[in-house]
Chain A
Amino acid sequence: MVKRNAAIGMVLFIVYLVLYGGFVFLNAFSAETMESTPLWGINLAVLYGFGLIIAAFILALLYGALCRGSDDAADTNDALSGNEEGQS
C-alpha cells in the first residue's frame, strides 16, 4: 500500500511538474506568448495561471480517489522500512 501510493504520487507529481515547468519556462523565455489572447479575450498568462490552480485541484482529487486506506492504523512512529503491515 505504501509503495502503491508513493508510485501514484510520483506519476501525478511528474504530470504537474511538466505543467508548472511549462508555465515557468514560457514566462521566462517567451514572455510575449503570454500576452496573446487565445480565448474570450483573456490572455494566456491569466488562462494558464488559473489552469495551473485548477489542475492542482484535479490532480489532488485524483490522488485521493486512487490511493486506498491507511497503512499505519496503529501508532508506528518509527516505521521507516515501509513494511506493509496493517493493510486494510
Chain B
Amino acid sequence: MIYEASTLAVIVFFAFVGLTLGISFYLGRKAKSSQGYFAAHGQIPWFVNGVAFAGDYLSAASFLGICGMIAFRGYDGFLYSIGFLAGWIVALFIVAEPMKRLGKFTFADALDAKFNSRGIKVAAGISTLAVSVFYLIPQMVGAGVLVTPLLGFPHWAGVLLVGITVITIVVTAGMVSTTWVQFLKGSLLVIFAAVLTIMILNRGFEVTEGGADGHAFGSLGPMTAADIEQEAAKAGYTLVQPEGSWEDQPFIHLKNNETGRVSVWSKWTGSAEGSSEQSSATVTLLEAQTLTKTPDGKRLVNGQPQGKKRGEPDLHPVGHISKLPDGQQKTGPLGPATFFSTLQDSEVVLWEKTKKPVEEADGSTTTVFYQKPTPGSQVLRPGEDPRFRGVRSDKLVDKFNFLSLMLALFCGTASLPHILIRYYTVKDTAAARKSTIVGIASIGFFYVLTLYLGLGAMTSGSMDLTNSNMAAPLLARSMGEWLFAIISAIAFTTVLGTVSGLILASAGAVAHDLLGSGLGMKLSDHEEVRVAKIASVVVGAIAIALGILFEGFNVGYLVGWAFSVAASANLPALVMILFWKGVTRQGVIAAIVVGMISSLGWILLSGDTYTKVYGLPASDSLVPFSQPGIVTIPLGFATLIVVSLMTRKSTTQQA
C-alpha cells in the first residue's frame, strides 16, 4: 500500500525518540565501570526492573507479529501469546533465583560458576551471540515496518534508522539507561494497548461491503455455474476468456462495459474449506485484487499503475464483517465477553493469496488476493493458519509442528540471553523474584489485550494485504492520527529497547566470555567496556543487514525460531546444572554445541525456509516439519546426560 507521512505523526514520533535518547545520554554518563555498564550496579528497583522485563519482552514480535497474525488468520496468533507467557513460568519458578545466585554479568557466568572452564564460557558466549542475532532479525524487520507508514520511508531506511539509534544508545549508555528506557516504554505500551482495546470495544462491529477507503467489493450471485455469463451481463460486465497461464487459475475475468477495465474475480462456493456442507451447485463471484510486478520494475494494482499519493490507484485496504448475528447492521459498544460471543456468530471476510504469483508471457508476475468469507466460529478456533492446519489432520506427524512450537515457546523464554541478564540488574534473589512477578503481570495483561487488538484490526477495514506486520499501527490509524502517532512511536522505541538489550547481551558475550575468559585476554575493567562497545557496533551492523534481507517475514514467526534455538542450546545446560550433580564440563559444552547446531540446521533445512528464503518447493526440504524444538530440545538434554556419564566414567577410571 501507499504510505504517506503525516506531519503530526512525525512530530510526535521524533519527540518521543528524542526523549528516549535524552534519558539514555543523561543516565549513561554515570555508567563507567563494567559493573555499571553490564549490570547497572545491581541497583535497579525491583518494580522498575519488572516493568523493564515487559519492555524487553513485549518486542516488535509481540506487538506487531501477534496482532498481524490474529488480524489475518484469527485465533492462531494468540497461541504465540499463550506460549510466550507460559515461558515466564519456567523463568520464575526454575531459573530466576539460581541465575541470580550464580552469575555476575552474563549467562555464561552462571553456567560456568561450578566448573570455571574456558570451553563452557566460549560455547555459552557463542550461543548467546547466535540467539541474539536470530532474535535481532525480527526486531529490525519490525522497525522497518513501523517507519514505513509513519514517515513514508522505505523499509531499509527504517532499519538503518533503528540500527544507528540503537548503537548510539548502547555505546553511550549501557544497562542503567537501557533499563529505565525499557521501564518507560513497557508501561506506555501496556497503557496504550489498553486504550486501544477500549476504543475497539466502544466501536463494536459494523457490517460493510469493503474497507476504510469506501470501496465496496463487488459480488455477483449466488447463481449456478452455467449462468455466470448471463448474470455478469446483467450487472454490466462482459466475461473475458483467460489467456496463457491464467487458464490454469480458478479465477474469472470480467470487463466492465462502461470503463473497459478488466477485473479478476474468484468463485466462492458458499462454504468454508474443509467444511462438510460443500455445495458446489451454486457459486458467488467475489471481486479479487491483483498486484502485478512488471519486468521493468513497475507495480500495477488491479491492472492500473500504482500511485504514490493518497487517492491514487492502490490496493484497497481490507478487513470487514459481512454478517452479524440476527441480521444486525451495527452492534454499538460491546463488552469484553460479548465481543467474542458476537464475533462467534458473525461472518468475517478474510483474504487469501495465490500460493505462487501467476507468470505471464511478458515476464510480469501477478499475485491475486481473493476473499474468503469465514464464519466467526472458525476465526476463533485454532488451526486456521496454514502453519497450524496440522492440528486438524489425522496424521500424527502433521501435529508435530504445532507441538514443537508450543514446547519451544515454553522453554525458550528462560533461555533468552537478554532476559537472563536482567536478573543481574537487581540487588538480590528476592528482588529478582519480585520483578519477575511484576513482569508476568504486565506481560500477561498485554497478551490478553493482543486478542482484542488482533480481532479489532481484522474488522477495522484498514489492513494492508501485502504486510501482516502492519496490522496494529493501521488499526490505530483507523482510530485517529494521534493514536497512530503515539502507538507507532511507542512500538518503535520498544523495538529500540529490545534491540539495545540484545546488542548489550551480545557485547557482554564477546567482551566478557569470548575475549576475556575464552582467549584468556587480560582486560582491565575499562578495556572490557571498550571492547563491548566495539562489539556492539559490529553486531548492530550485522543486525541492520539481516533486517533489510528478511523484510517479507511475519516477525512473530521469526521470533518463534529464535526461541527454538535458545531453548535447544541453552536450556538443557541451565536446567541440568541446577538439578543434577553428575553434570560434567564436557557434558555442558556438548549440549550447548549440539543444541545450537541441530536447531539452526533444522531451521535452515525446513520447508518454511525453503519456500520463503531459497524459493524452493517445501516438499524438497529435508526435515518433516519446520519447528525444531520437539526434536532438538530433548536432543540437547540427551547429549548432556550421555556425555556427562561418559566423561565421568573416564575420570574415575583414570583416578
Contacts and interface: CB of A to CB of B under 8 A. Distances in A.
Interface of A: 2, 5-6, 9-10, 12-13, 16, 20, 23-24, 27-29, 31, 34-35, 37, 40-43, 45-46, 49-50, 52-54, 56-57, 59-61, 63-64, 67, 69-73, 76-80, 82
Contacts of A63: 92-93, 433, 437
Nearest to A76: B101
A82 B102 CA distance: 10
B437 A23 contact: no
Contact of A77 (B93, B102, B380): B102
Contacts of A37: 341, 344
Given A28-B403, A80-B102, A43 B89 contact: no
A33 B381 CA distance: 10
Nearest to B428: A70
A9 B402 contact: no
Contacts of B340: 40-43, 46
A77 B103 contact: yes
B381 A35 contact: yes
A6 B579 CA distance: 10
Nearest to A73: B428
Contacts of B79: 27, 49
Interface of B: 75, 78-79, 81-82, 85-86, 88-90, 92-94, 97-98, 100-104, 109, 113-114, 337, 340-341, 344-345, 377, 380-383, 391-392, 399, 402-403, 406, 410, 428-431, 433-434, 436-437, 440-441, 444, 447-448, 451
B64 to A, nearest CB: 20
A10 B380 CA distance: 33
Given A28-B391, A31-B382, A31-B391, A46 B75 contact: yes
Nearest to B342: A41
A5 B337 CA distance: 37
Given A60-B437, A63-B437, A72-B428, A31 B93 contact: no
B433 A43 contact: no
A45 B382 contact: yes
Counting chain A CB atoms within 10 Å of each CB, the highest count among B85, B86, B114 belongs to: B86
A72 B90 CA distance: 21
Given A27-B79, A49-B451, 12 more contacts: A6-B97, A13-B94, A16-B89, A46-B340, A49-B78, A54-B444, A56-B444, A60-B436, A63-B93, A76-B101, A77-B103, A80-B114
Chain B: interface secondary structure?
A: helix
Given A27-B391, A28-B402, A56-B444, A49 B430 contact: no
Counting chain B CB atoms within 10 Å of each CB, the highest count among A16, A35, A37, A45 belongs to: A45
A61 B391 contact: no
Contacts of B93: 9-10, 12-13, 16, 59, 63
Contact of B440 (A2, A24, A60): A60
Contact of B381 (A9, A40, A45, A50): A45
B434 A64 contact: yes
A31 B440 contact: no
7 closest A-B pairs (Cβ-Cβ)?
A41-B341, A70-B430, A9-B93, A13-B93, A70-B428, A42-B340, A60-B440
Contacts of B441: 57, 60
A73 B612 CA distance: 51
Contacts of A45: 75, 380-382
26 contacts: A6-B98, A12-B93, A13-B93, A16-B86, A16-B93, A24-B402, A31-B381, A35-B377, A41-B345, A42-B340, A43-B377, A43-B380, A45-B382, A46-B78, A46-B340, A49-B79, A52-B86, A53-B448, A57-B440, A60-B89, A64-B434, A71-B101, A76-B101, A77-B104, A77-B113, A80-B102
Contacts of A40: 337, 340-341
A18 B284 CA distance: 47
A56 B440 contact: yes
A31 B85 contact: no
A34 B180 CA distance: 41
B395 to A, nearest CB: 12
A52 B82 CA distance: 7
Contacts of A61: 437
B400 to A, nearest CB: 9
B86 A27 contact: no
A22 B465 CA distance: 35
B563 to A, nearest CB: 15
A11 B89 CA distance: 12
Nearest to B113: A80
Contacts of A20: 86, 89, 410
Nearest to A24: B406
B300 to A, nearest CB: 40
Contacts of A24: 402-403, 406
A28 B399 contact: yes
Nearest to B378: A35
B141 to A, nearest CB: 26
A88 to B, nearest CB: 9
A72 B97 CA distance: 10
Contacts of A16: 86, 89, 93
B337 A53 contact: no
Contacts of B102: 77-80
Contacts of B399: 28-29
B504 to A, nearest CB: 19
A72 B429 CA distance: 7
B410 to A, nearest CB: 7
A35 B377 CA distance: 7
A40 B335 CA distance: 12
A79 to B, nearest CB: 6
Nearest to B381: A35
Counting chain B CB atoms within 10 Å of each CB, the highest count among A12, A28, A35 belongs to: A28
Contacts of A29: 399
Contacts of B113: 77-78, 80
